[in-house]
Amino acid sequence: MIRMQQFLEAIQKTIEVYNGIDGNRYPAWKVTIGFYLALQIVDAYLFKTQGLRPTAHGKSSPPGKRSPDKSKRNDLIWLYCHEKYAEYITLYKLSRKSRYRPEYYHPNVRGNPTAKVEELLEKAFLPMRTALQAS
């Protein structure tokens, strides 16, 4: 059975990985790990507040179609974390672009995308983590 402590340990490990990545040298990795950190925090929040288990990413869907699991997760975030939805989707889009179009994340081409990720994490998701740890 999943326990809140497991969520908090996974979040802490992801924070350590995120902090260990040089955003100037590996910006695409920094962006992707930042998204997964937000994802873990949201899953922990949904588990704590609604008793919902995290949904796993499903099999690949045809282009233009969302997998049922991602659809469900996005719907749950919209329903229970409405105020964080815009930040979550922004991180999701940045992460997808960093994985599939990493040339856009070269520091000399588009500035520093990791700054946007750090701003979103600091503003929206790390306060959620602090609240989860406190309770």
pLDDT at 106: 61
| Residue 12 vs residues 19, 33, 76: alpha-carbon distances, Å | 11, 12, 23
What does the domain layout of the chain look like in residue ranges? Answer: 4-134
pLDDT at 71: 67
pLDDT at 110: 59
**Kind and range of the H or E element at 103?**
none
pLDDT at 102: 67
Angle at the Cα of 30 (from 59 to 105), degrees rounded to 5? 90
Alpha helices for the chain (secondary structure H): 4-20, 27-50, 68-80, 85-100, 107-110, 113-120, 126-134
Mean pLDDT, contiguous 10-residue spans, the chain (135 residues): 83 94 85 91 87 58 50 80 88 84 63 79 88 82
pTM: 0.79
